[in-house]
């Protein structure tokens, strides 16, 4: 079917540098806000609706710049509070429309989707141009080192597949270690990756290590502290940062804290847990699991151990001595919550404060599986693993294997098959509920150690996988690639996807796909529009989408389809023309056609008809 693409021609504003003069102001400063309005959109007056000490105020926008196809309006506002909420309204005799972070509405809207400015220091600058690589330590690479086999483990040969869902799921040990990662840093560096996110490396009684028996050392069967310090040193020389994974919600049943607490009711560690005589093991476990004792942050001593104390867990690993560049917080949305107790915000803010004090350049990102917007209000986590606002919508749009993901999405039915417009609306819902700074500090991912592999989600369709990877590396946020995705590893659920990489025989690798991933990573890091640009949706059809990433220095246009397509695109009403093809389908000028028998992708540099 042939499509004639008619770009969206509505007023636009987002939290990026084109529209907000200072995204991290101090209270008392003023910020200049801009809105772009296409000539085809008519109105008589426009105002900003802003809240100062909770009171609504309105200021009229003034025309600042006239261009060939659009005009720019602006207003300067004072920053009175830590959180500044605002939206715009356009009025005339026959028009009454509000512009907020979700988009344009012809009816009254709530403050929940207002644009937000947060008067706290800016997020770490380095994350803007970073691309992360997630490693599950037991499955990435195995060095020649040998270690004693723990009593809980069932050893497996390196190139065997995981057995599946069974009693051995958490105890299958393949023997991957940190020296193995160091031996293959060249692979990671050659991809262009600038950060490694490790799932937990602490001692435990499982292969996933989310049941830590210590937070103060690296598991000896991974090589211990010495191996990690060596890796950090070598990685940093290559421009690669290392980030760890912390379970603030629980520890493992083998942790000395629990042993001391069980031995003496007067031990300080007794206060670290919730006790329940109605269960056999006597304490509350996360999801009822005896292996994962739930931590009780009513305990001042626990807070000091975890993040408040000078030598606390959170602080130590991101200090210069240890050299970590940040934390991913496991089940961050559940931390501090149990029944009537809700200490979540207190713990989240405490971790953020500890990191700010110890290493203000460290990145704090949380797993927030079903997403709670208040967690990303700018004062807690810098960002989240963007399952809700990116991965799930992308799966729902691109999947060819609908049965595979229903469980992880927390729903008792198969994945839906949604349209391009539904995809965009899903993403807008997430983005509209949090400050722009939290969108760009969130991890953008297609899959992880907890999900099916995306190659399996699309039933091995490489073109669809490439469409998804193009989105990961052009969308606002910090791209994260699960180790092995670049070579086409598969897996039908989380544990099944935790497959090893065969380093000795690379004939099964998808080398062509890996080359494309390498090219996309390079484009992501080297183009200012993708590093500092906003997000403007241009077109949404059932089978393809078109969006702009624009900074002060550059405009990037991205086209992604899920199936074959024949689309005639006209950018003339936007005052844009393609000046250079950076990736995929070639195009030039303001009018062109994208034609393909399969899913396809394109990244173009575009020029504006007038400078802003």
Q: What is the DSSP letter of 508?
A: G
pLDDT of residue 303: 98
CB 326 within 8 A of CB 198: no
Q: Total structural domains in the chain?
A: 3
Residues 6+ apart with CB under 8 A from 597: 564
Distances (CA, A) of 319 to 32, 47, 93, 312: 37, 47, 60, 11
Residue 375's φ and ψ, nearest 5 degrees, are -65, -25
What pLDDT is stored for residue 411 in this prediction? 76
Both 221 and 344 in one domain: the answer is yes
For residue 278, tell me if it sits in a domain.
no
Angle of CA points 372, 363, 346, to nearest 5°: 50
Residue at a domain's end among 68, 92, 118: 118
Question: Quick one: CA dihedral 213, 385, 128, 48, positive or negative?
Answer: negative
Helices 511-526 & 462-472 angle (0-180, nearest 10): 20
Provide the Cα torsion 315, 241, 24, 114; round to 10°. -100
| Contact predicate 387/151, CB 8 Å | no
Q: How far apart are CA 120 and CA 124, in angstroms?
A: 12
Q: What pairing do the DSSP bridges indicate for beta strands 341-342 and 337-338?
A: antiparallel
Contact 565, 543 (CB under 8 A): yes
243 and 369 housed in the same domain: yes
Which CATH number fits the domain that encloses residue 49?
2.60.40.10
Quick one: residue 287, left, alpha or beta (phi over 0 = left, psi -120 to 50 = alpha)?
left
How confident is the model at residue 3, as a pLDDT? Answer: 57
Phi then psi for residue 478, to 5 deg, are: -105, 105
**Which residues partner with 37 through β-bridges?**
71
Measured between alpha carbons, how far is 600 from 595 in angstroms, rounded to an integer? 9
Q: Give the tokens for residue 94.
A: 């026959």
68 lies in the same domain as 169:
no
Q: What is the CATH number of the domain that holds 588?
A: 2.60.40.1180
Give pLDDT, residue 612: 45
For the record, the structure tokens of 607 come out as 């020029």
Q: Encoding tokens for residue 24?
A: 């991290």
> CA 157, 158, 162, 168 torsion: positive or negative?
positive
Q: In angstroms, rounded to a whole number, what is the distance separating the alpha carbons of residues 555 and 606?
A: 6
Q: For residue 91, what are the β-bridge partners?
A: 45, 96
In whole angstroms, give the CA distance from residue 40 to residue 410. Answer: 43
* Residue 199 falls inside a structural domain: yes
Are 248 and 395 part of one and the same domain? yes
Surface-to-core class of residue 200, CB atoms within 10 Å of its CB (0-12 exposed, 13-18 middle, 19+ buried): buried
| pLDDT means over runs of 10, the chain (612 residues) | 66 98 98 97 97 97 95 98 98 96 96 97 98 98 97 97 90 98 98 98 98 98 98 98 98 98 97 97 97 98 98 98 97 96 98 98 90 92 96 95 68 88 96 97 97 96 98 98 98 95 98 98 98 97 97 98 96 95 97 97 88 47
111 and 138 belong to one structural domain: no
| Full 3-state SS string of 369-407 | CCCCHHHHCCCCCCEEECHHHHHHHHHHHHCCCHHHCCC
pLDDT, residue 9, reads 87
pLDDT of residue 244: 98
Domain that holds residue 550: 530-608
Q: Cα-atom radius of gyration of the chain, to the nearest Å?
A: 25
Do 303 and 430 belong to one domain? yes
184 shares a domain with 74: no
* CATH number of 503's domain: 3.20.20.80
Q: Rounded to whole angstroms, how far apart are CA atoms 492 and 15?
A: 37
Judge whether 72 lies within some domain: yes
In-domain check, residue 438: yes
The Cα 197–Cα 183 span in angstroms is 17
Is residue 110 assigned to a domain? yes
How many angstroms separate the CA atoms of 282 and 285, rounded? 9
Alpha-carbon gap, residue 463 to 247, rounded angstroms: 37
Task: Specify if 277 maps to a domain.
Answer: no
Closest CA to 541 of 515, 507, 568, 520: 568
Question: What are the distances in angstroms from CA 472 to CA 169, 199, 425, 439, 523?
Answer: 30, 20, 17, 13, 12
Angle at 561 between CA 556 and CA 563, to 5 degrees: 165
Mention every residue, 6+ apart, whose C-beta is less than 8 A from residue 69: 38, 39, 573, 574, 575, 609
Q: Is residue 516 part of a domain?
A: yes
Is residue 452 within 8 Å of 105, Cβ to Cβ?
A: no
Q: Which of 481, 512, 528 is the last residue of a domain?
A: 528
- Among 380, 365, 483, residue whose Cα is nearest residue 127: 365
- The first and second tokens of residue 15, run together, are 């939290």
Residues 86, 33 contacting (CB under 8 angstroms)? yes
* Claim to verify: residue 256 and residue 356 sit in the same structural domain: yes
Q: Are residues 136 and 114 in the same domain?
A: no
Q: Residue 464 is encoded by which pair of tokens? A: 């669809």
Residue 69 half-sphere exposure toward CB, CA atoms < 13 A: 15
Q: Are residues 110 and 140 in the same domain?
A: no
Angle (nearest 5°) at CA 148 between 146 and 154: 105
CA distance 460 to 288: 37
In a domain, 8, yes or no: no
Cα separation, 105 vs 108, whole angstroms: 7
Token pair in block for residue 325: 């560049």
Sign of CA dihedral 160, 165, 166, 167: positive
How far is residue 484's CA from residue 308's CA, in Å, rounded to a whole number?
A: 37
Same domain membership, residue 209 and residue 339: yes
* 518 and 536 fall within a common domain: no
């Amino acid at each position: 079917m042939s499509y004639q693409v008619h770009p969206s021609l509505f007023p636009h504003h987002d939290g990026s540098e084109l529209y907000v003069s200072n995204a991290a102001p101090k209270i008392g400063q003023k910020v200049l806000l801009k809105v772009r309005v296409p000539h085809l959109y008519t109105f008589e007056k426009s105002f900003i609706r802003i809240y100062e000490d909770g009171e609504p105020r309105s200021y009229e926008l003034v025309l600042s710049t006239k261009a060939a196809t659009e005009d720019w309006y602006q207003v300067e506002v004072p920053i009175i509070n830590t959180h500044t909420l605002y939206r715009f309204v356009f009025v005339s005799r026959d028009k009454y429309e509000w512009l907020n972070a979700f988009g344009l509405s012809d009816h009254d809207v709530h403050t929940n989707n207002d644009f937000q400015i947060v008067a706290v220091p800016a997020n770490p600058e380095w994350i803007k141009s970073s691309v992360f690589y997630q490693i599950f330590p037991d499955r990435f690479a195995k060095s020649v080192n040998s270690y004693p086999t723990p009593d809980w483990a069932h050893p497996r040969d390196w190139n065997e597949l995981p057995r599946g869902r069974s009693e051995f799921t958490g105890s299958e040990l393949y023997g991957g270690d940190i020296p193995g990662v160091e031996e293959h840093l060249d692979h990671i560096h050659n991809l262009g990756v600038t950060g490694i996110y490790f799932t937990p490396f602490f001692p435990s009684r499982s292969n996933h290590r989310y049941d830590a028996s210590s937070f103060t050392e690296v598991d000896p069967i991974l090589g211990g502290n010495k191996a990690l310090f060596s890796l950090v040193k070598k990685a940093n020389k290559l421009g690669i940062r290392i980030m760890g994974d912390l379970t603030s919600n629980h520890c493992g049943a083998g942790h000395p804290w629990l042993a001391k607490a069980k031995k003496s009711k007067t031990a300080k560690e007794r206060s670290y847990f919730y006790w329940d005589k109605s269960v056999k093991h006597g304490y509350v476990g996360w999801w009822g699991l005896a292996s994962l004792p739930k931590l009780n942050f009513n305990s001042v001593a626990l807070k000091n151990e975890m993040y408040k104390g000078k030598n606390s867990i959170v602080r130590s690993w991101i200090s210069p001595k240890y050299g970590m560049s940040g934390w991913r917080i496991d089940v961050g949305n559940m931390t501090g919550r149990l029944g009537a107790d809700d200490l979540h915000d207190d713990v989240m803010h405490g971790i953020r404060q500890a990191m700010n004090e110890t290493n203000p350049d460290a990145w704090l990102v949380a797993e927030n599986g079903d997403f709670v917007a208040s967690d990303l209000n700018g004062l807690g986590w810098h960002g989240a693993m963007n399952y809700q606002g990116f991965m799930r919508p992308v799966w729902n749009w691109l999947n060819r294997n609908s049965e595979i993901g229903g469980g992880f999405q927390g729903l008792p039915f198969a994945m839906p098959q949604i349209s391009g417009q539904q995809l965009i609306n899903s993403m807008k819902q997430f983005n509209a509920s949090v400050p722009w700074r939290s969108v760009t500090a969130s991890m953008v991912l297609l899959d992880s150690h907890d999900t099916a592999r995306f190659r399996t989600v699309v039933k091995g369709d490489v073109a669809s996988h490439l469409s998804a990877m193009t989105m990961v590396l052009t969308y606002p946020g910090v791209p994260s690639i699960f180790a092995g995705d670049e070579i086409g590893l598969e897996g039908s659920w989380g544990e099944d996807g935790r497959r090893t990489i065969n380093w000795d025989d690379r004939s099964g690798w998808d080398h062509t796909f890996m080359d494309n991933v390498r090219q996309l990573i390079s484009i992501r890091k080297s183009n200012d529009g993708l590093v500092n640009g906003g997000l403007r949706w241009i077109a949404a059809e059932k089978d393809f989408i078109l969006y702009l990433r624009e900074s002060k220095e550059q405009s990037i246009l991205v086209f992604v389809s899920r199936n074959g397509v024949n689309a005639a695109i006209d950018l003339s009403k936007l005052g844009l023309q393609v000046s250079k093809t950076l990736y995929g389908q070639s195009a030039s000028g303001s009018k062109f056609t994208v034609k393909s028998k399969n899913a396809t992708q394109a990244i173009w540099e575009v020029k504006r008809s007038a400078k802003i």
